[in-house]
Structure 1
Amino acid sequence: MRTFRDRVRHALLFEAVALAIFIPGSALVFDQPIAHMGVIGVASATIATLWNFVFNMGFDRALLRLRGSVHKTMAIRVAHTFLFEAGLVIMLIPMIAWYLGIGLWAAFLMDLAIVTFYLVYGFLFNIAYDRLFPINAVAVPCAA
C-alpha cells in the first residue's frame, strides 16, 4: 500500500505534468491564448481536486447509510464515476463559458475534450508512476 507521502507526491506530480501538457496543448487545439487556458487548467484542477474530496466523502457516507458498507461493486463504481464526472461537468461548463466568453454548448464540447484528455492522461500517468515508483513488496508471514 502507498504511504501518505507517496500519495502526496503522486497528486502533485499528476497535476503538474497534466498542466504542463494541458495548458499549451489546449491553447493550440482550442485557439485560445495560453494565459486563458492556464487559468482554465488551474481553476479546473483546483475545482476537480476539491470536488473529488467532497464527493468521495459524501459518496462513501451515502453507501454506508444505504448499504451498511463502503464496498463498491462494479455497478457502484460505474455509478460513482458517472456521478463524479457529471457533477464536475456541471460545475465547470458555466465557469469555462463565462471566462472564455463562449456559449454553453462550446464550453460543453471543450469540457468533453478536457475530460477525454484527463481519462487518457490519468491512465497513462498511473502506469508510468507505478513503474517509476513501485510499491515495495511487504513480506506477509505465512500461516503455519
Structure 2
Amino acid sequence: MNWIRTMSPTTRRVVQAVLYEVGAVAFVGPALAWGFEQSMSSSLALAVLMSAVALAWNYVFNALFEAWESRQPVKGRSAWRRLVHGIGFEGGLALWLVPLAAWWLQTTLLAALLAELVLLAFFFVYAVAFTWAFDRVFGLPRSAGGA
C-alpha cells in the first residue's frame, strides 16, 4: 500500500478524478431522471456527458490549483483552502455545464442555471467531503507538503 502515498501528481489527479466521477454519475443519473422527468437512459447519458466534462475540468483545475498551492508559504490544506478549492472547482464547472444542460434539456440558460444550482449545491459539499476523504486515504499531494 506504500505506492498509494507515492503516486506521481499526474497519477494522483487521474485516480482522484475517476473516483469522484463514478460517485457523481451514480448520483446525477437517477436524480435527473427523477427531478426532470427524464428517462433513465437519457439522464444517464447526460450524467456521463457531464462527467466527461467534469473529468477534464477536474484534471485542469487541480493542476492549476496545485501549481498555485505549491507556491504558498503555508503548506497543508486548511478548511479555508479546501473551501477555496471547492468554490473554484464548482464555479468553473458551472461555466461548462450550464450551456450543456440548456442544450440537452432544450431549455433556456436561465432555466438550466436554476437546475444546475441544485446540483452545484450538492456537489459543493460532495467536492469538499470527497477531497478530504481522498486525502485521508491517499495522503496529501506533494504540493500540500505530502510525500
Deviation string 1:43-75 (CA, Å, 9 cap, x unpaired) is 11122222112111111112334x356534433
Question: What 5-or-longer segments of structure 2 have no aligned partner?
Answer: 8-12, 138-147
Match of 1:39 among 34, 45, 48: 45
The question of whether the paired residues in 2 share the 8 Å contact of 1:23 and 1:34 is answered with yes
Structure 1, residues 85-110: CA drift from partner, whole Å, max 9, x if none? 10001111011111221111111121
1:9 Cα shift? Answer: 8.1
Structure 1: runs of 5 or more not aligned: 130-134, 136-144
Equivalences for residues 50-129 of structure 1 within 5 A: 50-65=56-71, 67-68=72-73, 71-119=76-124, 123=129
Contact 1:93/1:111 (<8 A) preserved:
yes
- SS of 1:35's partner is helix
Identify if the C-alpha distance between structure 1 residues 11 and 61 changes in structure 2 by more than 3 Å, giving closer, same or farther.
closer
Q: Which has the higher contact order (CA 8 A, sep 6+)?
A: 2
- Seen in structure 2, the aligned counterparts of structure 1 residues 55 and 40 have a Cα distance that, compared at 3 Å, is same
Shift in alpha-carbon separation, 1:80–1:109, aligned structure 2, 3 A? same
Question: What is the CA-CA distance between 1:113 and the residue it aligns to?
Answer: 1.6
Separation in 2 of the partners of 1:29 and 1:56? 30
Let me know the Cα RMSD of the aligned residues: 3.6
Larger Rg: 1
Q: How many residues align?
A: 128
